Amino acid sequence: MEIFTTIADTQSYLKKLTQQGKSVGFVPTMGALHRGHISLLQQANLENDIVACSIFVNPIQFNKQEDLLKYPRTLNEDIAKLKEVACDVLFAPSVDEMYPEPALERFDFGHLDKVMEGKHRPGHFNGVAIVVKKLFEIVNPNRAYFGLKDFQQLKIIQTMVSTLKLNVQIVPCPTLRENDGLAMSSRNIRLSKHERSVAPAIYRVLNGIKEKAGRISPKNAEEWGISQLNKFDGMNVEYLSIVGADDLLPISEWDEKKSVVVCTAVNLGAVRLIDNLILNHHIEE
Ligand code: PAF
């Protein structure tokens, strides 16, 4: 695996390969790689000649300094995992390399970045869009792989790609879960033993909402979910919203024909976890 820390080296190496007609699959990450990331890399490996990964803890997508400082950084372990999964190129730049000047670009995502994560983490999606656009310019991938766990992020990136007419195919990939249902996340390693033992309740409650879909109103289902989760010691729901899967608009009644998703963010002690579940029984995740 080639490891680069500069934009120029990454671009010139990948450019030679694309000029030879090789396709590039790209998995952008912030490191602390887990099996969820590995599954994205495996998918990229199946569909492309070359697999590139980036590891960059993007400071401008953190709205809380404390969250940025606590974000796990495990570069050596990550490199070992990338070698095992036959990744060809790793781009691991410094903050100065990515942002020699302050990043001032502003995106307009309309309603999409005003709700849920966007509402609770002001500026987060603008920071994600800036870094992903920049990474796409550097890597110039044919395909880029994103997990459905970050459902709203995926919508934002798909919107950015279509608005800016970027020449990259966005490939959504399923959420990977531990055996007890907890969605895999780099943040899980920060959970205490007790927090780890209660965390699977998030997915159980999302499934409880799925069972109730169509039988009680969306508003009552949201309230039920929030009250169930808040019963757990140390758990505090930031939001739990049932929204259209395409427009992220709240729904007031169930509509068999509309794809609907429940998204939640939960603070468990000092760790913020997100998860979601597609609710329509005729649409598989
Ligand atoms: O999902 C993530 O890990 C990050 O938001 C991303 C897409 C790598 C941008 O920093």
pTM above 0.85, yes or no: yes
Copy the structure tokens of residue 208: 């409880």
**What's the 186 CA to ligand 1 centre distance in angstroms?**
11
| pLDDT, tens only, 42-59 | 999 999 999 999 999 999
**What's the 227 CA to ligand 1 centre distance in angstroms?**
30
Q: Percent of the chain scored above 70 by pLDDT?
A: 98
Alpha helices in 141-237 (DSSP H): 151-163, 193-198, 201-212, 218-230
Q: Closest Cα to residue 146, out of 123, 104, 174, 124?
A: 174
Using most ligand atoms within 8 A of CB, pick from 26, 27, 30, 62 the residue to mutate for ligand 1.
30
Residues in the chain: 285
**What's the 128 CA to ligand 1 centre distance in angstroms?**
6
Does any ligand 1 atom lie closer than 6 A to the CB of residue 58? Answer: yes
Does any ligand 1 atom lie closer than 6 A to the CB of residue 132? Answer: yes
Atom nearest to 150 CA in ligand 1:
1
Q: Could you confirm whether 37 is annotated as catalytic?
A: yes
| pLDDT, tens only, 77-114 | 999 999 999 999 999 999 999 999 999 999 999 999 99
Q: If you search the block for the tokens 């329509």, which residue do you land on?
A: 280
Does any ligand 1 atom lie closer than 6 A to the CB of residue 60? Answer: no
β partners of residue 243:
250, 261
Does any ligand 1 atom lie closer than 6 A to the CB of residue 61? Answer: yes
Does any ligand 1 atom lie closer than 6 A to the CB of residue 280? Answer: no
- Mean per-residue pLDDT, 157-171: 98
Q: Percent of the chain scored above 90 by pLDDT?
A: 96
Does any ligand 1 atom lie closer than 6 A to the CB of residue 30? Answer: yes
Tell me what pLDDT residue 202 has. Answer: 98
Tell me what pLDDT residue 95 has. Answer: 98
- d(C-alpha 225, C-alpha 162), whole Å: 34
Does any ligand 1 atom lie closer than 6 A to the CB of residue 28? Answer: yes
- Mean per-residue pLDDT, 152-179: 98
**What's the 101 CA to ligand 1 centre distance in angstroms?**
20
β partners of residue 2:
89
**What's the 195 CA to ligand 1 centre distance in angstroms?**
24
Tell me what pLDDT residue 256 has. Answer: 85
Domains of the chain and any CATH numbers: 2-173 (3.40.50.620), 186-276 (3.30.1300.10)
For residue 80, give every residue at least 6 positions away whose Cβ sits within 8 Å of its Cβ, in sequence order, or none. Answer: none
Does any ligand 1 atom lie closer than 6 A to the CB of residue 10? Answer: no
**What's the 61 CA to ligand 1 centre distance in angstroms?**
9
- Mean per-residue pLDDT, 120-142: 98
Which is catalytic among the residues 37, 111, 124, 194?
A: 37
* CA-CA-CA-CA torsion sign (99, 104, 108, 114): positive
Copy the structure tokens of residue 256: 């068999």
